[in-house]
Amino acid sequence: MGRIYFKLDARTRRLLEREAKRRYGRSKGFMVKTASEIFLWYIRRLEEQKREARRAERVKRNFEKQIASWRSEQSKAATMLENGITTIYTENVEDFEKIPGIKAVNPFD
């Protein structure tokens, strides 16, 4: 079967050269020459991008949950301080320990 040559744009050529350098320790003289090699490289790259996107989405969701929890605890603490309450009984002692004027007690310890 004969080889099929593709004309690659500059960005794709840089990506292929970077991949060659990562794999083979060199980038000069490396040229993907067959359609199947280019196809497989693109498929691997797309899979990597999907994994990175899923990971980024998980990190974002976890961060949003932490922020929502922190805001909730802050609003509780502000309400407590406004009403002269200085002690709270909660399992979530770590978040309340950071707030001056509030004493957090875990009733299950």
Query: What is the per-residue pLDDT for 106?
Result: 92
13 found inside a domain: no
| 31 in any annotated domain | no
Inside any domain, residue 70: yes
| 99 in a structural domain | yes
pLDDT in tens, 67-95: 777 777 888 888 888 889 899 998 888 87
Is residue 1's pLDDT more than 50? no
Number of domains in the chain: 1
Asked if residue 96 belongs to a domain, the reply is yes
Token code pair at residue 73? 């605890």
C-alpha Rg value of the chain to the nearest Å:
28
| Whether this model's pTM surpasses 0.75 | no
Q: Which residues pair with 103 in a beta bridge?
A: 87
Residue 67 lies in a domain: yes
**Average pLDDT for 47-58:** 89
Pairwise CA distance, residues 73 & 77, whole Å: 6
Flag whether pLDDT at 14 surpasses 60. Answer: yes
Q: Give the position of tokens 């709270």.
A: 88
Angle (deg, nearest 10), helices 10-24 and 35-82: 90
Q: Does residue 56 fall inside a structural domain? A: yes
Residue 67 domain boundaries: 52-105
pLDDT, position 64: 83
With CA atoms as reference, report the closest residue to 76 among 108, 54, 98, 109.
98
Is 82 a domain residue? yes
Do the beta carbons of residue 25 and residue 38 sit within 8 Å? no
